[in-house]
Amino acid sequence: MVAILGLSALYHDSAAALMIDGEIVAAAQEERFSRIKHDSSFPVHAIEFCLNHAGISQSELDWVCYYEKPLLRFDRILETYLDVAPRGFVSFARAMPGWLREKLWVRRQLTRVASRTTGNAVVFCRHHESHAASAFFPSPFETAAILTVDGVGEWETATWGVGQGNRIELQRRLRFPHSLGLLYSAFTAYCGFRVNSGEYKLMGLAPYGKPVYADRIRQHLVNVRADGSFRLDLSYFRFIHGLQMTSRKFHRLFDGPPRKPESELTKRFMNVAASIQAVLEDILLRMVHGIHEETGLKSLCLAGGVALNAVANGRILREGPFEHVWIQPAAGDAGGALGAAFWVWHQRLNKPRCESNEDRQAGSLFGPEFSSSEVRDALDRSQLCYEEFASHQDLCDRVAALLEEQRVVGWFQGRMEFGPRSLGNRSLLAAANRKEMQTTLNQCVKRREDFRPFAPVTLHEFTQENFEIPPGAEFPYMLVVVPVRGERFPTITHVDGSARLQTVRDSQNPQLGQLLRTFHSRTGQSVLVNTSFNVRGEPIVCTPDDAIRCFQMTGIDALAIDRFLVTKPSHSED
C-alpha cells in the first residue's frame, strides 16, 4: 500500500486529500469542520477525517505533499517589497509576523504529520503544478492541454502546458504581478465584496449591467496580446505595496470611489462588474485559442481559482476551439491538496494512469458520511419529531410532495462534497417553476443578496429540452453557465436568461437521481433548484448536527437527512 496525503494551507481554503494506491479515498476542506468560512489554518481536522475514513494512522503515510513551495513564495514577497521600498512598509510589517511565526516553518508541521524522519516523506510541489495535476490527472483524457489561472502562487499567476499519460509538462508561464486573478479581485474589492470569497458575487452581478467600461479597462489597465498573455499597468493598483487593491487613479478612471460593503448597489457598479467580466472572458478566450494553436489538441483541462468563473467557462465551451473541456470541481486552493497527491503518485513515483472514459473525481463526493444510527442520535439530541422511512423511494415520494407544495427541503445524504459547490448531498432543494421562490430562498433561508441567482439541477436525459448545450454535454460539477430554453423555470433563470447547470446521472448520484425522477413523475417538471446547504457567511453543513442547527435557525421547511424527515408546519397550518 502507498498512502499519500496532499495538503493546502495557510492562505485560504485549507484542505487535505488522501490517496491510497492511486485512488482518492477522502478529501475535505478545513472550513467544514472548524465552521470558519475559507479557513486558512493548518488543516488538522481535515487530516484527522482523511486518516480515520481510511482507517490508517499517521505512521502509515508514505508521502506528505504540500501544494506549493513556501520559500519560493517568500522570495517573491521579499523581492517585491524591496522593489517598491519604502512604499509597502505597512503592508510588509503586517505580513511578516505570519511568515515568521508559521508559513516559513510549515515543513515542521508537515514532518509531524508524516511522523517519519527519512527526509523523503515530505515533498513540496509548485503551486501551479498542483493545480495542473488536479486538472489533468483526474480528467477522462489520455492527452490534453492544461490551463491554470489564479491570483498568484510562488511567482506564477497562470501556466499552460500539456498532459499525456502520467506526465504533465508546463511550457509557458505568466508571472506576478501580471495576474488575471488579481485583476478580477481588484474589481471585486472595488465593488464592495471580499477578495477570495466575493468573486462569484461579482460574476452574478455582471448581467445586471452593461460593459460600458470594458474599453477603458483594455486601454488603460491591461495590455493583452494575441495569445492571451498580458501586462497590467500597475499605477492603477495597490496590491503590491498597499493594504488596498486599487489606487486613486483607478477610482478616477471608473468615475468614483469604491463601494462600501453592504451599501446600495448602483448602476455604476453593475456596469463595472459587467465590464471586467467581459474583459476576463475575452482574455481567457484568447488564452485557450493560443494554447490550441500551439498544441493542436482536442481536449482542455482547467484549474485555478479563475476556473470557477462559470460564465467564462460557458464561453470557452461554446466559443473556444477545444472539443472537450474538463474543469477541476475544487479548482481553487483546496483542490491543490488533491493535485499534490496526484502529482506525487504520477509525476514523482511514475505510476501509470488507468484508461477510462469517465473522470476519476467520483462526483467529488470525498467528504464525511454518517450512519443512520449517528443521524438518529443527532435527531434525538435535538428533540425534534421525525419520520423514518423504510426505503429511499418512500422518502423520495414524501420529499417530492413537499417540493410540489413549494416548500424548501434540506437534503443531507451520503458523503459530503469536496469543493465549493453543493452537488446534491449537502443541498437545499426547491421547485424551480415560480419566481417567488427566489425571494423565499434569499430572504427566509439563505439571507443573502437579492441579485444572486440560484442553480438548477436536472437529470441528464432532460438537459437538452431545458438548456442550450452541445449534444451529449454533461455538467456534473455545476461549473458552466448555459442559456436556459423558455421561461418555465424562473427561479433558476438569471436576468440574462442563463443558469449555472448541474446534470445528474443515476450512476453518479443515485439518491439525488431517484428524487429527481420521482419529482418529474409526480409533477412533469424535470428541474429543481439546488443551492448550498448553509446560510450567508457560514460554510456548507458537514455533520447532522450542523444540518439540524441550520434547519432550526432558518426558514427551511423540511429536512431529509439519511432516511429521516423532519418538517415544520406550513404557513397554511400556522
Selected catalytic residue, list 12, 178, 241, 460 = 12
CA distance 53 to 246: 45
Other residues' Cβ atoms within 10 Å of the Cβ of residue 544: 22
- One-letter amino acid at 469 equals I
Give CA 458 to chain center in angstroms: 20
CA distance 362 to 349: 23
CA distance 213 to 412: 43
> C-alpha cell of 47?
487530516
Q: Where are the beta strands (DSSP E) in 198-270?
A: 222-224, 230-232
Q: Are the C-beta atoms of residues 516 and 459 closer than 8 Å to each other?
A: yes
Other residues' Cβ atoms within 10 Å of the Cβ of residue 230: 21
Q: Is the peptide bond before 177 cis (omega within 30 degrees of 0)?
A: yes
CA distance 187 to 245: 8
The runs of H, that is alpha helices, within 296-449 are 310-319, 334-342, 372-382, 392-404, 436-439
> C-alpha cell of 378?
443527532
Q: Are the C-beta atoms of residues 280 and 248 closer than 8 Å to each other?
A: no
CA distance 454 to 437: 10
> Cell 441579485 identifies what position?
451
Quick one: CA dihedral 423, 429, 431, 435, positive or negative? negative
> C-alpha cell of 349?
513515483
- One-letter amino acid at 27 equals A
Concatenating the DSSP letter of every residue in 284-328 gives: HHHHHHHHHHHH--SEEEEESGGGG-HHHHHHHHHHSS-SEEEE-
**Catalytic annotation on 251?**
no
Q: Which residues contact 4 (CB under 8 A, 6 or more apart)?
A: 18, 19, 20, 61, 62, 63, 64, 65, 341, 344, 345
Q: Are the C-beta atoms of residues 363 and 427 closer than 8 Å to each other?
A: no
Please state the φ and ψ torsions of residue 503, each to the nearest 5 degrees.
-105, 150
Q: Give the residue numbers marked as catalytic.
A: 12
